[in-house]
Amino acid sequence: MAEIGKDIHKAAELLKRGKLVAIPTETVYGLAANAFNPEAVLNVFEAKERPHFDPLIVHSSTAQWVKQHVAETSPMAQILMDEFWPGPLTLVLPKKPIVPDVVTSGLDSVAVRVPSHPMTQDLLRMLDFPLAAPSANPFGYVSPTTAQHVQDQLGDKIDYILDGGPTTVGLESTIIGFEEGKPVVFRLGGLSIDVIEEVIGKVELSLNQSSDPKAPGMLKSHYAPGKPLYFGNPGEMITDFEGKRIGFLGFMTRLEFLPPKQQLILSPHGDLHEAAVNLFAFMREFEKFPVDLILAEKLPDIGLGRAINDRLRRASVIP
């Protein structure tokens, strides 16, 4: 098992030696390595059993620092950096040669982000290299939102887990790239599209580019919990599962026809931010519940609800 602690000096030392350390961010926990050490980065892919065609995000403490890794920053990218960093936004920009190919899976672009979590900010400031970090879960599984989630799944493969408490956003960062100068959303996430559009106007969605860019649809599911999850309208789906023990993942209210102990409600007050914070932890909790499958209710398709629905759809048996 990995040691769990709050010692950023220890984390920094390990990272300098090419070791893997799980780090807290405001979105989800990341599995970090020195982005400039190809061997360490390869170990990240190995620990996650992640295919090498799926590139990693490079984390830095400031936008200033990010600019040492990207070849150019368009005016619109600059506006997004000024407005939303540090925070749950990742930008895909042309890379400089200093970023190793293993980080970007050979692409000539690199995904960059400035996380806002104070502990990881402090850690990054102690290092003279950025951190390549995917979410700290086995490939295809739900992302971790606590140090214990990381321990449960990757504890025997990493050296240290930096414990920054439960994450405050709960969904991975929103990813934006640029095609012919126009902003394109590659992944919905913790920064909602409406908030982005208030700043830069309408954006296009192109949602299969990230999370297995060359193989969308090849994988049966992504972000999946350990039990089959069905996503949609529970009232309509329920008849298909007679004789099965059903778990219900609802937005605001329980179902009357199921025992309360088989149900988890994301936000009784209907707060989408609270729902996002609870989502991945609740998906994991169903593993301990005496249920055969999970019915997940569709949330309102607005604000963070869109990103939550996206994750539930990808986690479902029939995405």
Beta strands 109-113; 89-94: pairing state: antiparallel
- E-strand ranges in 188-256 read 204-205, 229-232, 246-250
Q: Measured from the CB of residue 144, what is the shortest distance to ligand TXA in angstroms? A: 9
Q: Measured from the CB of residue 55, what is the shortest distance to ligand TXA in angstroms? A: 3
Query: Count residues contacting ligand TXA (CB under 6 A)?
Result: 29
DSSP 135: B
Of the candidates 289, 266, 261, 288, the one whose C-alpha atom is nearest the C-alpha of residue 279 is 266
Binding mask 180-219 toward ligand TXA (x if CB under 6 A, else -) reads ------x----------------------xxx-x------
Q: Measured from the CB of residue 209, what is the shortest distance to ligand TXA in angstroms? A: 5
Q: Residue of minimal CB distance from Mg ion?
A: 135
By CB under 6 A, tell whether 111 contacts ligand TXA.
Answer: yes
- Which is closer to Mg ion, CB of 21 or CB of 295? 21
- Which is closer to ligand TXA, CB of 91 or CB of 249? 91
- Which is closer to Mg ion, CB of 95 or CB of 314? 314
- Which residue's structure tokens are 């996002």? 276
- Which is closer to ligand TXA, CB of 19 or CB of 117? 117
Q: Measured from the CB of residue 54, what is the shortest distance to ligand TXA in angstroms? A: 5
- Which is closer to ligand TXA, CB of 175 or CB of 265? 175
* 64 CB-near residues (< 8 Å, 6+ apart): none
Of the candidates 57, 32, 54, the one whose C-alpha atom is nearest the C-alpha of residue 139 is 54
Integer Cα distance of 35 and 192 in angstroms: 28
| Range 127-156, binding ligand TXA (CB under 6 A) | 133-135
Give all strands of the β-sheet with 293-297 in edge-to-edge order.
229-232, 293-297, 246-250, 263-265
Residues that bind Mg ion (CB under 5 A): 135
Please, what's the b/e burial string for 57-66 (b: 16 or more CB within 10 A of its CB; e: otherwise)? bbbbbebebb
Residues near ligand TXA, by CB under 6 A = 25, 27-28, 30, 54-57, 90, 92, 104, 107, 109-111, 113, 115, 133-135, 172-173, 175, 177, 186, 209-211, 213
